Structure 1
């Protein structure tokens, strides 16, 4: 299993390089290299000998609890991977490579047309993957299960159905109040100074630069090759301070999870993250519950003024706190406030479901996207770059991912409520610059377990109850009624 992991992580290094430093002429050969490595890893993992070994191990009586779980989960992974041929895995990797580079060019050209055909080909393969993996009720369930074991269309639909009216009600209340000012975020902020500030924030929340690094990319992301080498990326807009800052904190949350996974389990399921929903709960907890909270900036406002004295003239920490939490419909998901964010996710989720069940095709995406941004958020999409080309996920073939952003936000609120209940002084500690207690709590309750539990099991183990959107609504209501004096 560790040898197979070596091949997979070698591939991950090439993918990281592809999105950070690869020269344009290297695209084609890089696609070949990635396809070869993905095929090799799949072939090694799905041999009959591996299956026989896992079956033999699963029948043994003398394994300890961790060994039993590693064998059980490995056998599940084996049986699922056996449903996909090595040739299919290679073709998928090649399609993803072609799609990714088409997406980059289409973004630069600000035209979906250049991305449409490669995406269409990739969607056809994802439909085939759904059929090969097998599913009940909806073909999209097979793909969602890859990112969060047991997550289904029925569950996600229920979550969004519950969230939508409550979010709309809160947003409507905010509309009737005086809007907060966040113009200070859109002054000129020097690129190098932003970079250095982001590094300081990452250090403060506990990111270990001896076991990781940060770089620039078109779309912020986190990747890990083991818990001693975790890479994050950010992007910098000199006229939008928020773009870099909360990308750093969000990706930092992902990275802290990866750096906290068990070293001794490398290559085995218990060294891997629980699910993408839990992963997103980590990034959203750091980004929003902490990084958009008043206590965090009561400590870091002095640091902010040190780096950007001119931009902070006549700015108070209370004004800053309100401004960074401004609720206003917008075009870009990664820059959206905590309330309207979920409508960005809903739109993508609905599009993916329909692409996989054949209700719409790739060519229909821009029109559907633009129509629903108008309906849900009341904004007019001016072009493809700020519309359906803004996210990297589809170019990676990551269909089934988007719902985990909203599920992760709900889990984050539920986790943070438990943290506050167990440690009444936690917000006072954050205001003093100490987030160590939070990181230790996450290490103890989440990171150390790897894939031992499903998202639902982990959530119940920690908080004493299943996933409950009430915690997110309560958190958001308390926060934004305070900011907008509702």
Structure 2
């Protein structure tokens, strides 16, 4: 390797990683289109196109030239942020080097096939249509765990992809510690707090809901010059840079809550992506810290803000203007109790803040069993239905409302679900700290609908750091303590008490 100055070498490193990012985000554009506008006959070639780009990006990143460049770079004098970028890239390099380009292509092709099988299975409400594709994916995920390597449980290798350092031992304790307090609170709330919510299931025309969701997204700070919103089978957020962030939602004309809170949730994700440092495009410090932290942003906006009394003190009259026939005779207090109603249900994305975590526990345990081989794919529906009956006390009526409801497995995203609960717990801590740090935060929301103070606080304390810190390090930096699920329990108790 020729001798370069440290600055020139770092510029070379940045240029190489940004070229790789260009290829990866090009594949992401095709994936976004696959889930929004792709015509059915295009599915086969689209799977090939995405697989080719995924394989190319992997080959580019795991080539010997990148490894040599990183080793040389880390031997030089670098700024603190430059060194952190290089260190994190080397971690990624050493991990992904364990996967061959052929394996990456095979996984990408299997994911594309599984996604379209999942769509068809949902249309026909029949898990058996999805089963063959899912079986292939699970086998590949077991292989991936072995290739990446792990200590303890093979599921650890997959969870580490989404939440660095997460282990079965850690998550088992987190869920064990939270389960009984949540069950106790569930019993207490359902005994004492009965909320009517029939008015959320009136007729809400699609166009009016779309306009309302767009209004909310703008009010919360989503930059439509750097993003857009579309419709998809399952709401999601994706990005191709901090200046191009896409969110999707789904609309049910007979369920007001579906679109509104999926929009707020995805806006939370999008605000994080739009707040990442643009100058770090393609580099680790231009990426999110972890899926747990990403989820903390969506859950904070969806629940701490979007289901809070301060928010609706200002926005409920606005809502009544959009839907006068549906809400003019409903008080703000009735509305608040309805949107915070605690009731065991079938659908995770529509679950209340309390029972939501039982949905996550079912998926976490199921995936552990799948990856270790103690549960087979064909056994998923029966296992799922039994767990929903025993944990949530609800009867699963069909596959679409049961084990086909989430898109994640069709994306190959095994090890993801636990981050939903971790995100809620981090969100409660961040919300508590934000209120302590920003004088009159809720008053500004009540009087002006002003959430910009919160967004600016998040931009400074969370978004600006990218991947510099692990989840626990970031939580400690922001709140002064590591993850503490009792903060979340206390937050829920206070909210439920305020609604009485």
- Give the TM bin, normalised by the shorter chain: over 0.9
Q: How does 1:61-100 map to 2 (within 5 A)?
A: 62-100=77-115
1:475 aligns with 2:491: yes
Match of 2:4 in 1: none
Distance in 2 between residues matched to 1:175 and 1:196, nearest whole Å: 34
1:277 aligns with 2:311: no
Match of 2:246 in 1: 231
Match of 1:366 in 2: 381
Match of 1:297 in 2: 312
Distance in 2 between residues matched to 1:428 and 1:165, nearest whole Å: 34
SS in 2 for 1:59: coil
Q: How does 1:389-408 map to 2 (within 5 A)?
A: 389-408=404-423
1:254 aligns with 2:269: yes
1:44 aligns with 2:60: yes
- Among 5, 9, 12, the alignment partner of 2:28 is 12
- Among 193, 203, 207, the alignment partner of 2:218 is 203
Q: How does 1:337-348 map to 2 (within 5 A)?
A: 337-348=352-363
Structure 2: give runs of 5+ residues left out of the alignment. Answer: 1-16
SS in 2 for 1:311: helix
Mean CA deviation greater in 103-112 or 170-179: 170-179
Match of 1:419 in 2: 434
Structure 1: give runs of 5+ residues left out of the alignment. Answer: none
Match of 2:392 in 1: 377
CA offsets 1:186-232 (integer angstroms, 9 cap, x no match)? 00001000000000000011000000000000000000000000000
Distance in 2 between residues matched to 1:313 and 1:193, nearest whole Å: 16
1:153 aligns with 2:168: yes
Distance in 2 between residues matched to 1:178 and 1:420, nearest whole Å: 27
The alignment's C-alpha RMSD in Å is 0.6
Distance in 1 between residues matched to 2:368 and 2:497, nearest whole Å: 34
CA offsets 1:341-399 (integer angstroms, 9 cap, x no match)? 00000000000000000010110100000001000111000000000000000000000
Match of 2:477 in 1: 461
Distance in 2 between residues matched to 1:192 and 1:173, nearest whole Å: 39
Distance in 1 between residues matched to 2:175 and 2:193, nearest whole Å: 28
SS in 2 for 1:224: strand
Mean CA deviation greater in 402-411 or 315-324: 315-324
1:244 aligns with 2:229: no
CA offsets 1:319-355 (integer angstroms, 9 cap, x no match)? 1111100000110000000000000000000000000
Match of 2:7 in 1: none
TM-score by length of 2: 0.96
Match of 1:59 in 2: 75
- Among 247, 263, 266, the alignment partner of 2:281 is 266
Distance in 1 between residues matched to 2:154 and 2:185, nearest whole Å: 34
Distance in 2 between residues matched to 1:424 and 1:330, nearest whole Å: 37
Match of 2:335 in 1: 320
TM-score by length of 1: 0.99
SS in 1 for 2:36: coil
Distance in 1 between residues matched to 2:249 and 2:187, nearest whole Å: 33
**Count of residues paired in the alignment:** 483
SS in 2 for 1:408: helix
Distance in 1 between residues matched to 2:190 and 2:53, nearest whole Å: 52
CA offsets 1:240-286 (integer angstroms, 9 cap, x no match)? 00000000000000000000000101111010000000000000000
SS in 1 for 2:325: coil
**How far 1:423 moved relative to its partner?**
2.0
Distance in 2 between residues matched to 1:475 and 1:428, nearest whole Å: 18
**How far 1:303 moved relative to its partner?**
1.2
CA offsets 1:393-432 (integer angstroms, 9 cap, x no match)? 0000000000000000000001101011112411111112
Match of 1:35 in 2: 51
CA offsets 1:437-476 (integer angstroms, 9 cap, x no match)? 0000000001001000000100001100110011100000
**How far 1:178 moved relative to its partner?**
4.7
SS in 2 for 1:215: strand
1:452 aligns with 2:468: yes
**How far 1:175 moved relative to its partner?**
2.2
SS in 2 for 1:136: coil
- Among 98, 117, 126, the alignment partner of 1:111 is 126
Match of 1:21 in 2: 37
SS in 2 for 1:223: strand
1:176 aligns with 2:199: no
Distance in 2 between residues matched to 1:394 and 1:178, nearest whole Å: 36
Distance in 2 between residues matched to 1:303 and 1:279, nearest whole Å: 29
Match of 1:102 in 2: 117
